[in-house]
Amino acid sequence: MNITVMGLGYVGLTNAAYLAQIHSVWGFDKDIAKIHDLNNQIDYLNEPGVSPLLKKHSKNLVYVEAPSQALSQSDVVLIAVPTPEGKDGQIDLSAVEEAFAHVIESGKKDVLVVVRSTVTPGADQALIQQALVKNRKDIQIVIMPEFLSQGEALKNITSPSRVVVGVHQLGLEKKVKSLFRYPSNIPFLITDPSTASLTKYAANSFLASKVSFINEMSQIAEAVGADIQDVVKGIGYDPRIGHQFIQPGVGFGGSCFPKDLKALKYLATQHQIKGSMLDATMAINQDQTTRFMNRVMARLNYQIKQKKIAVLGLSYKGSTTDVRNSTAFKVIDTLADQQALIFAYDKKATFDFFNLRGEKPCLAYAIELEDALKDADVAIILNDAKEIKNLKVSDFIRLMKTPIVFDGRNLFDPKTMQGIEYHSIGRPTKK
């Protein structure tokens, strides 16, 4: 089959790499720099396994700056462009519509469009209308939400926990099956487009609500002197609960959870539904970071000015370089407001963080982890990158002026933190 993938980010490029093992794939992205990088075999994604796969199947991959030629030869088009937060939290569909306009313009007759971007229920109808206005009744649309997790994108696409496909007319799912060729043991749910869309939002909102739930428990644990990690173990052994996604922390970020929660809340409101769970999930998340930073400030008696603070981990989780909606922004802004001397460190994400945040008078970017920690008054840990997890107590003692550590990811066992002052989430402070 000939396929065009529109949008070559986390979702699009990883799908392209997977599909190039089986088909001929054209890749189009609006960002010409990405097309140049791909043509020069430069990896801007940093997702394990993706680059080698792109190289291995390079004969099946062509990257283009204009999509018309690719579309005129493609039987299937994957749309994997962003769907960011729009006005009042509603989804901004403009990139999807823009990509789809190219399909209307240049796509083959009866082309199948597979929407892998996260879109709210009803988006398929908007696209159908867009096609009808241009007399393209022949274009078939399926909604196939992507459930990958950054840091293991290829693994998730190669062996998904399930595939959900929303079709208007039964039979189209057969084309999707022959496109992805998943083994028969992978659950394959065929449903209507609105249900497929809602399944994606329900999945992300549920996962986010698990995080907020355990974070609220961590606040109570802190107040009563309990240990949240033991609570996590104690509830996680219940098979109805399980251990996954109940790890307390400084609050979630990323390109998906925050905007998807808001889009679902907007949708609920449109239908006179309160969306109280969604509200609570978002409010607890904000509160969790604020409380954490209040603890840092209180520990320094609100005398933050000119204190050297090491901020370790800028991406929203250690396994990705993606900094979108990372908690690090809020943490650094809070410290900058107090005129702290901030030394931010992230082995892989500094460049992207700098691109979004730029320079601030009181913010320096450390190239080495040791430079960030050297002579610091306080260290704040924000993600679980390997090099941060690998730090030893002796490193904090050796390098810092005063070894006071605020661990927003509970990376260490307090019992092992002898000789330093160790604050974490939902656990008694080790002094």
- When the beta carbons of 10 and 345 are compared against ligand NAD, the nearer one is 10
- When the beta carbons of 152 and 333 are compared against ligand NAD, the nearer one is 152
Shortest distance, position 185 Cβ to ligand NAD, whole Å: 22
Residue nearest to ligand NAD (CB): 9
Q: How far is CA 370 from CA 30, 154, 314, in A?
A: 39, 32, 16
Shortest distance, position 150 Cβ to ligand NAD, whole Å: 4
Long-range interactions of 173-180: CB distance < 8 A, separation 24+: 173/142, 175/76, 175/112, 176/112, 176/114, 176/142, 176/144, 178/1, 179/1, 179/3, 179/19, 179/23, 179/76, 179/114, 180/18, 180/19
Shortest distance, position 85 Cβ to ligand NAD, whole Å: 10
- Nearest Cα to 152, choosing from 21, 317, 42? 317
Q: How far is CA 375 from CA 281, 344, 370, in A?
A: 37, 14, 10
CA atoms within 13 Å, Cβ hemisphere of 35 = 16
Q: Which residues bind ligand NAD (CB under 6 A)?
A: 6-12, 28-31, 34, 80-83, 95, 98-99, 117-118, 146, 148, 150, 255-256
- When the beta carbons of 30 and 299 are compared against ligand NAD, the nearer one is 30
Bridge partners (DSSP) of residue 5 are 27, 78
Out of 256, 381, 388, 400, the active site residue is: 256
Shortest distance, position 82 Cβ to ligand NAD, whole Å: 5
256: annotated active-site residue: yes
Q: Can you tell me the distance from the alpha carbon of 216 to that of 228, in angstroms, rounded to the nearest whole number?
A: 10
Tokens for 344?
């931010």
- When the beta carbons of 19 and 373 are compared against ligand NAD, the nearer one is 19
- When the beta carbons of 117 and 212 are compared against ligand NAD, the nearer one is 117
Q: Can you tell me the distance from the alpha carbon of 165 to that of 84, in angstroms, rounded to the nearest whole number?
A: 22
- Nearest Cα to 384, choosing from 254, 258, 256, 249? 249
What is the DSSP code string of 29-78?
Answer: -S-HHHHHHHHTT--SS--TTHHHHHHHTGGGEEEESS-HHHHHT-SEEE
Shortest distance, position 151 Cβ to ligand NAD, whole Å: 9
DSSP state of 23: S
Residue with tokens 């002796």: 394
Q: Can you tell me the distance from the alpha carbon of 161 to that of 268, in angstroms, rounded to the nearest whole number?
A: 27
Shortest distance, position 148 Cβ to ligand NAD, whole Å: 5
CA atoms within 13 Å, Cβ hemisphere of 291 = 21
- When the beta carbons of 99 and 379 are compared against ligand NAD, the nearer one is 99
Q: Can you tell me the distance from the alpha carbon of 220 to that of 423, in angstroms, rounded to the nearest whole number?
A: 15
- When the beta carbons of 82 and 428 are compared against ligand NAD, the nearer one is 82
Shortest distance, position 391 Cβ to ligand NAD, whole Å: 27
**Residues labelled as active-site residues:** 256
